[in-house]
Amino acid sequence: MNDEPILSARGLRLSFGAVRALDDVSIDLWPGEVLAIVGESGSGKSTLLRVLAGETRPDAGSVTYGDPQGGTRDVHGMTEAARRRLARTEWGFVHQDPRDGLRMAVSAGGNVGERLMAVGDRHYGNIREEAARWLERVEIPRSRIDDAPRLFSGGMRQRLQIARTLVTRPRLVFMDEPTGGLDVSVQARLLDLIRALVADLGIAVILVTHDIAAARLLAHRMVVMRQGRVVEEGLTDRVLDDPRHPYTQLLVSSVLAA
């Protein structure tokens, strides 16, 4: 792993009225690392993801992105234009509901090709071929390239969203409950796929999930959140096998019991 973090947050605070969604949160993510943020709903983990991705502005604190040239950039200080450019090139976002990340009326090929076109690719044949390769990579038959995601199952839509996000080989991907809302059998297959792709491409991932099993399978390291605070963090195996904070113990035991 490199010396400099790819994403670094310091002292994030954010309140909605009287509710403290983030209460002095600091996080580092290293290139190629998968970091899981776990906690119950309402723990602030989804808010944290939006703040890290620059979509929601914190009341206090900073988020810094380490770019490939070795420089650092203030995520909330950059212009919207710069942030959007980043979001379609070096970053990616996988939503829980694929409908939020896909264009439902556009063909699978068009969905995957959009990011290529957004970064200036203007060769139809190449775009189509690259889209077809990515469909195969996420186990969608090439023959479905001209079908709209409307006609796809939930699992296929999610795989399509992943292909669409990864096609430009981003360095950093934000994932918000990527397996939420899917059948258990479909979840397992999707988790395997994500793990293989992330390892292959060496992508850094911030994964928000309430699913401890998913975190164990994908993440190198994990952060446990409760009421807007980080209550525990460490290597995934250590946190799950030897949880120190009572809340983490509860979280882990409830999974084991279930």
Partner 1 sequence: MSGYNFAYLDEGTKRMIRRALLKAVAVPGFQVPFGSREMPLPYGWGTGGIQVTAAVIGPDDTLKVIDQGADDTTNAVSIRRFFARVAPGLRTTESTAEATVIQTRHRIPETPLREGQVMVYQVPQPEPLFRLEPRRAETRRLHALADYGLMQVKLYEDIARHGRVASSYDHPVMVGDRYLMSPSPIPSFDNPKMHMSPALQLFGAGRERRLYAVPPYTAVRSLDFEDHPFVPLRANGRCTLCGSGESYLDEVVTDDRGGRMFVCSDTDYCGTRQARMKEAAE
Partner 2 sequence: MYVAVKGGETAIANAHAWLDEARRGDPSVPELTTDQVAEQLTLAVDRAMSEGSLYDPGLGALAVKQARGDGIEAAFLLRAYRTTLPRFAASLPVDTGAMAVRRRVSATYKDLPGGQVLGPTFDYTHRLLDFALAAEGYAPARSEEAEPGEDAAFPRVTGLLAGEGLMAPEVASDEEPADVTRTPTTYPATRALRLQRLARGDEGFLLGMAYSTQRGYGNSHPFVGELRQGSVAVTIVPEELGFEIEIGEIEVTECEMVNQFKGSRSEPPQFTRGYGLTFGRLERRAMSMALVDRALRAEELGEDATAPAQDEEFVLNHSDNIEATGFLEHLKLPHYVDFQSELESVRAMRAQVEAERAAPQAFKEAAE
Binding mask 90-129 for partner 2 (x = CB under 8 A): -----------------------------------x--xx
Spell out the SS3 assignment of the chain: CCCCCCEEEEEEEEEECCEEEEEEEEEEECCCCEEEEECCCCCCHHHHHHHHCCCCCCCEEEEEEECCCCCEEECCCCCHHHHHHHHHCCEEEECCCHHHHCCCCCCHHHHHHHHHHHCCCCCHHHHHHHHHHHHHHCCCCHHHCCCCHHHCCHHHHHHHHHHHHHCCCCCEEEEECCCCCCCHHHHHHHHHHHHHHHHHHCCEEEEEECCHHHHHHHCCEEEEEECCEEEEEEEHHHHHHCCCCHHHHHHHHHHHHC
Residues within window 46-85 making contact with partner 1, judged by CB under 8 A: 80-81, 84-85
Q: How far is the CB of 90 from partner 1 (least distance, A)?
A: 16
Residue whose CB is less far from partner 2, 17 or 71: 17
Q: Does 143 contact partner 2 by CB under 8 A?
A: no
The C-alpha atoms of residue 189 and residue 155 are separated, in whole angstroms, by 9
Q: Report, in Å, the least distance between residue 54 CB and partner 1.
A: 14
Torsions phi, psi of 81, nearest 5? -60, -45
Q: Shortest distance, CB of residue 241 to partner 1, whole angstroms?
A: 45
At 120, list the tokens.
Answer: 């200036």
Specify the residue, 116 or 156, whose C-beta has the smaller distance to partner 1. 116
Q: Which is nearer to partner 2, 18 or 257 (CB)?
A: 18
Site stretch for partner 1 (CB under 8 A), options 26-34, 55-63, 124-132, 175-183: 124-132
Closer CB to partner 1, 77 or 181, in the complex = 77
For residue 80, state whether it binds partner 2 (rule: CB under 8 A). no
Structure tokens at 34: 């998968």
117 contact choice in partner 2, partner 1, none (CB below 5 to 8 Å, kind-dependent): partner 1
Residue 55: CB minimum distance to partner 1, A: 14
Which residue, 129 or 241, has its beta carbon nearer to partner 2?
129
Using the minimum distance from each CB to partner 1, give the nearer residue, 39 or 170. Answer: 170
Contact 6, 172 (CB under 8 A): yes
With binding defined as CB under 8 A, does residue 17 bind partner 2? yes
| Partner whose footprint covers residue 129, from partner 1, partner 2, none (CB < 5 to 8 Å by kind) | partner 2
Q: Which of residues 156-175 bind partner 2 (CB under 8 A)?
A: none
- What tokens appear for 163 in the block? 């292909």
Contact residues for partner 1, defined by CB under 8 A: 80-81, 84-85, 88, 103, 106-107, 109-110, 113-115, 117-118, 122-128, 145-146
